[in-house]
Amino acid sequence: MINNIRYDNYSSKDKGYTIYSVYGEDPNADMSGYHVNPFLGNVEGTFDEVIEYAAEHMPNFYTWGGGGYILPYKSLKQNADPIILNKVKKLKIERKAKLNNFVTAEIDNLIDNINILSKDDIKQILIEIKNKMI
């Protein structure tokens, strides 16, 4: 486990899936000349997955030993399509969000119309909600 304030902050806030911008290590290890951390790309996944991917699959993440850095995409101006590390996980998260939106809308509808709906109407709405959740 990494003991790092940035790691703890990002890994707890990404809610399981976020886009991160990955920058490589400055290839100029000495104090002279130009220094730059090259933009390597955007990667979508958990912070742990992105760290692992950058270290293993992005050749310029390490050049002389210190390693590059990873920041949440929203804080940067780099624009590139992200590499998606876990498409199945992403689809599950998107499906869960759609389901939550559907259930919330149906419950709001029930609350707004509770006085004019019959028991059969309420039962039908609850059955629809249940079927969507399966």
Residue 37: band (very low, low, confident or very high) from pLDDT cuts 50, 70, 90: confident
Q: Which of 2-16, 63-77, 111-125 has the lowest mean pLDDT?
A: 2-16
* Alpha carbon distance 41, 34 (integer Å): 21
Examine the pLDDT at 1 and tell me if it is beyond 50. Answer: no
73-105: per-residue pLDDT in tens?
765 555 666 677 777 677 777 777 788 888 888
**pTM given for the model:** 0.55
First to last CA, the chain: 36
Per-residue buried b or exposed e for 2-34, using 16+ beta carbons within 10 Å of the residue's own CB: eeeeeeeebbeebeebbbbbbbbbeeeeeeeee
* Alpha carbon distance 62, 55 (integer Å): 7
**Per-residue tokens: 31:** 């104090």
